Amino acid sequence: MTVSPELRTLPTIPRPADTPAAGAPHPGSPDLLRSVFRQHAAGVAVITAHGERPVGFTATSLNSVAADPPLLSFGVGTGSSSWPVLAEAEHVGVHILGEHQQELAGTFARSGADRFAEPTRWSPGPEGVPVLDGVLAWLVGRVVARVPAGDHRIVIAEVVAGDPAGPGDGAPGAPGRPLLYHQGRFNALRD
């Protein structure tokens, strides 16, 4: 029997020792993933949707997927309070937060918070999606897929509306300066 080149066995890649160094997370564990990604600075976004009530959460998993058609993605835990609405929502809002919005990011990250109560300022936007005031930029996307990924779903949405300059409400903070998440904290860019 002849084996095609595509089916040849790949060489075995050595694995790290099964015993992690003292204080190090176990190889292949959720703690290892978290520890490594604490070193990765990520932009901060708030994802919103509307069902019987508006829902939203802080996300650092936002990605641009494709330009044509314009697709984006983000991850959401299936155990989150927002998931039941997001599981059915036809459209989602994506808000890029500015460095002046650490409090807003914290509100949407906090479990049990009334995220749309004062001092959060928002209004219904395209397709009824809640659009937050004072953000650097926002998009509304039509959900085209929800891909299972462990205890999360990767939501893929096609952009249908948005504003790259945000609502322009004069909120404090340098225009165009994003909020970042690094080492378990919200941070601003340094000059």
Q: What is the pLDDT of residue 170?
A: 45
Residue 8 lies in a domain: no
Residue 14 lies in a domain: no
Which is it for the CA torsion 66, 160, 127, 46, positive or negative?
A: positive
Residue 3 pLDDT > 60, yes or no? no
CATH of the domain at 154: 2.30.110.10
What is the extent of the structural domain holding 164? 43-168+177-183
**Higher pLDDT pick, 181 / 89:** 89
pTM: 0.78
Domain count, the chain: 1
pLDDT in tens, 7-39: 334 444 444 555 555 566 666 777 887 777 676
Q: What is the pLDDT of residue 34?
A: 75
Terminal alpha carbon distance of the chain: 63
Q: CA-CA distance, 9 to 77, in Å (whole number)?
A: 36
Residue 18 lies in a domain: no
Residue 1 lies in a domain: no
Residue 182 pLDDT > 90, yes or no? no
